[in-house]
Structure formats: C-alpha cells, structure tokens
Chains A and B, each alone.
Chain A
Amino acid sequence: MSLLRAEGLSKEFGGVRAIEALDFEIQPGTVFSIIGPNGAGKTTLLNLLTGIYRPSAGRMWLEGRPLAGHAPHLFAAAGIGRTFQNLQIFFNMSALENVMAGRHLHERCGLAAALLRTPRLARAERACSDRAAELLAFVGLAAYERSAAEAMPYGALKRLEIARALAAEPRLLLLDEPAAGRIEFCGEDVTAAPPEARVRRGMVQVPEGRQVFGPLSVVDNLRLGAYRRGRAESVASLERVYAMFPDLAERRAQPAGTLSGGQQQMLAMGRALMARPRLLLLDEPSMGLAPRLVAGIFACIQALRDADLALLLVEQNARSALAIADRGYVLETGSIVLAGTGAELLADEGVRTAYLGL
C-alpha cells in the first residue's frame, strides 16, 4: 500500500489555479522529489499536504486513511512532518527547546501534572530533552544544543528545522527547498556571515559608486583596505598597488574626495586589492566614466584575471563586460535567464537586441 496517495488534487486562489488535478503516489521508504521553477506551485502543494490549505478539489490518503479538513495539527498527528522554505524557527527558544517542541505529539502531559511538576513529568522532560539532543547530534548540531536559535547561522537553522520535524517521528517528511538560499565560498557556508567575516575569508567588494573615504588621503584609504591584515604584508601590497596604478602613487597624500572619477575607481579597486582577495566583486566599475577611462578599467580587470584572481563583475556595459568574460549570466527580474561563455552571450540574438542595442 502506498504511503501517500493524491487524486485530482487542485487548489485555486480567487480564480488563479495554482495546482491542477494532481495525481501521484509516494511509497514508503522512498525519496520523492518535486522540482520546478519559482511559482510552479511546489510550496502550495506542500501546504495542501500539511493541512494549511484546503484543496479546492481532489482527495488525499495517508496509509489508506483519508486526509481531510483544515487542521494542520491533525495532519501532523496522522504522521506528516515538514520543513519550510522561509525559516519558521522558534526564535524565542534555544535549539534544544525547538526540537523538544517538535516532540509535542509524543508528550502526554496533563494540565495538573504540568502545574505541579510531578516527578513523572520531570522524568518525561529529561527523556524528551535526551531524545532532542540525539536528534541535534544526528543533524550535526550537537555544538549548538544550548545556543539561542536567534544566534545561529542560517545553514545551521536549516538543519535545526529538519531535526525539529524529525522529533515528531513522522511517517512522511516533506522538505521544502532544504538546500536553497545558501552561499558557499571555498566550501564554507557564508550565507549568514557578516561582511567582515567574508572579507577575512577573501571575498572583497569594490562597491558601486566607488565609496572612497573622501576626507582621508589616498594612502590612508589604501591602508584601511588592509585593515584585517598584518603591517608587513600591507606594505608589500601597497607597493604592488602603486605599481599597478601609478596615478595613485603620484597622489598618495591627496584627499580621496578630490580625485577624479576614474582615479577614484582605481583607488576603490586598489583598496580592495589591499585585502588580498581570492574573489573580487566589482559593482558597476565603469559607471559614470569617460570611454577612455572605461577601457583602462577593463584592461586592469583583464590583467587581474590573468594574475589568477577570480572576479565577479556586475556591469551595465554589457559589451565590454562580455568581451572579457569567461562566463556570463543574464539576470532578469531576479532569475537567471541566460548563461554561457562571454563569446556565446555576445553572439546571442536576444542579448544583442536587449542589451547591445543591435
């Protein structure tokens, strides 16, 4: 007998059909994957399967018993557990308490016993917290047992939700985008890392609009770029930057705010290079610059690439950007619509019409 069966499942929101006549079966002991782009209805389906939405049509059975109604806690009692795409962690509790809360269905506790804190309740609480600790270890969060949920990193919270869902001992576990929303840099999850942590790991940004420290001198701007590094290394890097940008060397004592646009761009790049990045992120480096200067900037970027630095370039100047890109992605309303090598994208009809004005 199948674990979950759905027949003709549909959901409508005020005339918009989010889900239309779905039929499927999930067997016990299997992994059933549902894939699709944003807006395809995946989360709506999960909401139907956990009783958060009532279906407009169709029926569902769990282990042969019909699932009906509109009470998520009854669906949970039947044996369905889930995690959420947008974290629904209990931020007012610790990690352990989150998982213990997940065990609610397995805690029989009368009101009187709760109010009087009977020895039997105390034993049950200990058993519950032991089981919760086991689950935390199972998902690799043993170190966070006593942490407040609000202090935990994003990746850990994703796993905490899984531990919490497992605590109810569900027959069917629904995972909504468990791996989504992660940023991994050199194998490390930096999704929730603050900026200074990312700089330390080697991700450095040259911001849009340069954002130099106007009242400070060029050399001070550069030195601040190496804020997180030692003094000796900083001096060596300074020489390298001056070699790359002679204009900056000439004006090293000048206040950064008095530099021209092109020079400020060089300063911003130099400042970022002072941090010895492994990945340099450039945000609109050519913005507001005369064509001759733009060429200079892009030559610089190429030189850096040739010196084995990885660069992520965000640019409106599609032609110049794609000309030097090894790989390019076209973003439209938040989704990647096109990907390919720089040459491929330059030759693409759509790109040519939309971005190159041809």
Chain B
Amino acid sequence: MSAQFLQFLLAGLTVGAIYALVALGFSIIYNASHVINFAQGEFVMVGGMCTVWLGNAGWPLPAAIAAAVLLAALLGLALERFAVEPARGASVVTLIIITIGASILLRGLATLVWDKKLHPLKPFSGEAPIQIGGATLLPQSLWVLGVTLVVVLLLSWFFGRTLLGKALLATSHNRLAAQLVGISVRRVLLVAFGLSAALGAVAGILIAPITFTSWDVGVMLGLKGFAAAVLGGMGSGPGAVVGGLALGIIEAMGAGYLSSAYKDALAFVIILAVLFFMPSGLLGRRSADRV
C-alpha cells in the first residue's frame, strides 16, 4: 500500500470518525422525533469553543471537557423544550425553519459570549507525529478514533442493554405503543436531544486540536454529518458510523487524488446522489408504503 494512499486513508478515517459522531446525533434525534435538527453542527461548535475558553481560564482539560459536554447537553434539552416541543405537529417547513433559526441564534450567541476568532486547542497527548508505514499520524487522530470507538460501543450497550435505550428505540418504531406501555415520549425526546448534543460536543472537542475551532465551525461539520447520516441511512446507528467513515475516506481520497478545492462539494454531491438513487441509504430501512 503506497504511503500516500495510507496517509489519505488515515486522514479520512480521522475526519470520518467525527462525521460519524455528528451523524449519530442526527439519527438519534430523527428516530425519536422525525425532525432533522439543523442545529446539530452548533453543538459541535459549542463543545470545542467552550473547552478552549475554559482551558484558557485555567481549568484542567478533563474538567473543561466535561463542562463543555454538559453545556452542550443542556442546550440540546433547551432546544427540545423551547423550540421543538411547542411546534409539535407543525409542518416540515416550519420545523426546518425553527431548527435553522436555533442554529443561527446559537451562532450569534457564540459570537457574543466568545468571539469570531479561530482558536486552537492543545492536543491531548502531544504533537509528535507517529510514523506508520511511511505515513504520518497525529496522536490526536488516535484519540479521535479511540474515543469514537468507545462512544460507539457505549451507545450500542445503551441501546441494546439498558431499558432507557430500548425505550428510545421502541418510541422510534411505534410511538403509540410506547405511550401505552407508559414510556413518556416527552422524556424520550429530551434524552434524545441531550444525547445528540453531547455526541456533537464530543466530536467538536476531539477535532479541535487538529482543525481548530471557531464560532462557525459547526455549519460545515453539521451539513457533512447530515450527508453521512443520509449516506448510511437516516435513522440507522450502524449506518451513521458507516456513512461517516465512508464520507471521510471519500473526501480524503477526492482531495488527494482529484481536486482539493472541491473537497467540500463532495459531501453535497453525495447527498444528491444518495437522495436521487438510493434514498434509504446504504443501511437504512426500506419502507414499504401502504397508501
């Protein structure tokens, strides 16, 4: 395997892991509420920016990270409680605009609370690159891949083995039946939003040492996370992971071998291609609609 190919592959996996985390956030919210949360990217931003800010204020890194994730989760809860809940049952256009409005609001708040500059975050364990088969890998990439793996494992444990996780899945399959067995749909929605926001924040924190963070870093990451979710199949957990990694690798290969200027466009070309030809994505549920 050529060194260059390996280099691209590793870079693609790293950013792909981030996309996977963001995509998981989209899928979890979509499953619980059938809402596409356009503000998902902003949770990524909050994670990174808050950690930087607290770190600069003297907090030790682990504490800053925990606080940032907690803040993002709270924002997720607030979004559900004050924006999505009041508009329950509204049309798709209405819900889209509400979450877009929320994302603009959050970005505006970010510029007020923090600033518009680009901020670096110190890598978790140093900057000395690691050599693997002719390619270089940043230690932070290992953190990204490692933490993502742990998160995915935790999520499968949560959804597969805890009652609360199963309740979330049950609600996404059949809301009425879930209510009839006593599952509080309101609470399920809150958990879904809080969890998704936390996932987004984790993604933002992991990637900040590599790509830096700023008030509007969430826009592109959010859109690409969405592309990954659609690619893998909206609503499918494994699909989000597969879609994220696939998108990251496609982007890296495209940028390396084709044109780096159009790297960002790839994700959107993929969205269009998937929606046109394979709307249920790679792993999504094929629904047999009974009219």
Q: Name the B residues within 8 Å of A298 (CB-CB).
A: none
Judged by a CB distance under 8 angstroms, whether B150 is at the interface is no
Tell me the minimal C-beta distance from A85 to chain B in angstroms: 12
**How would residues 216 to 258 of chain A score, 1 for a CB under 8 Å from any chain B CB and 0 otherwise?**
0000000000000000000000000000000000000000000
Judged by a CB distance under 8 angstroms, whether A93 is at the interface is no
Interface of A is mostly: loop
Total B residues in contact with A, Cβ cutoff 8 Å = 3
A279 to B290, CA, bound (A): 40
Q: Is the CB of A14 within 8 A of B288?
A: yes
Q: Name the A residues within 8 Å of B291 (CB-CB).
A: 47, 52-53
A53 to B291, CA, bound (A): 9
Q: Name the A residues within 8 Å of B290 (CB-CB).
A: 13
Q: Name the B residues within 8 Å of A13 (CB-CB).
A: 288, 290
Tell me the minimal C-beta distance from A43 to chain B in angstroms: 9
Q: Name the B residues within 8 Å of A52 (CB-CB).
A: 291
* Smallest Cβ-Cβ distance to B289: which chain A residue: A13
Q: Name the B residues within 8 Å of A14 (CB-CB).
A: 288
Tell me the minimal C-beta distance from B286 to chain A in angstroms: 10
A52 to B290, CA, bound (A): 11
In chain A, residues 5-62, which have Cβ atoms closer than 8 Å to a Cβ of chain B? Answer: 13-14, 47, 52-53
A13 to B288, CA, bound (A): 8
Interface of B is mostly: loop
A52 to B289, CA, bound (A): 12
* Smallest Cβ-Cβ distance to B290: which chain A residue: A13
A13 to B287, CA, bound (A): 11
A53 to B289, CA, bound (A): 11
Q: Name the B residues within 8 Å of A53 (CB-CB).
A: 291
A47 to B288, CA, bound (A): 16
Tell me the minimal C-beta distance from B247 to chain A in angstroms: 31
In chain B, residues 238-291, which have Cβ atoms closer than 8 Å to a Cβ of chain A? Answer: 288, 290-291
Tell me the minimal C-beta distance from A54 to chain B in angstroms: 12
* Smallest Cβ-Cβ distance to A18: which chain B residue: B290
In chain B, residues 77-136, which have Cβ atoms closer than 8 Å to a Cβ of chain A? Answer: none
Tell me the minimal C-beta distance from A12 to chain B in angstroms: 11
Tell me the minimal C-beta distance from B238 to chain A in angstroms: 23
Q: Name the B residues within 8 Å of A47 (CB-CB).
A: 291
A14 to B285, CA, bound (A): 14
A53 to B290, CA, bound (A): 10
A309 to B290, CA, bound (A): 46
* Smallest Cβ-Cβ distance to B286: which chain A residue: A14
A47 to B289, CA, bound (A): 14
Q: Name the A residues within 8 Å of B288 (CB-CB).
A: 13-14
A13 to B290, CA, bound (A): 8
Tell me the minimal C-beta distance from B93 to chain A in angstroms: 15
Tell me the minimal C-beta distance from B107 to chain A in angstroms: 35
A14 to B287, CA, bound (A): 10
Tell me the minimal C-beta distance from A177 to chain B in angstroms: 16
Tell me the minimal C-beta distance from B289 to chain A in angstroms: 9
Tell me the minimal C-beta distance from A37 to chain B in angstroms: 18
Tell me the minimal C-beta distance from B255 to chain A in angstroms: 42
Tell me the minimal C-beta distance from A255 to chain B in angstroms: 34
A53 to B288, CA, bound (A): 13
A216 to B87, CA, bound (A): 37
Spell out A's residues near B (CB within 8 Å). Answer: 13-14, 47, 52-53
Spell out B's residues near A (CB within 8 Å). Answer: 288, 290-291
Could you show 6 A-B contacts with beta carbons less than 8 Å apart?
A: A13-B288, A13-B290, A14-B288, A47-B291, A52-B291, A53-B291
- The 6 A-B pairs at the shortest CB distance, nearest first, are namely A14-B288, A13-B290, A52-B291, A13-B288, A47-B291, A53-B291
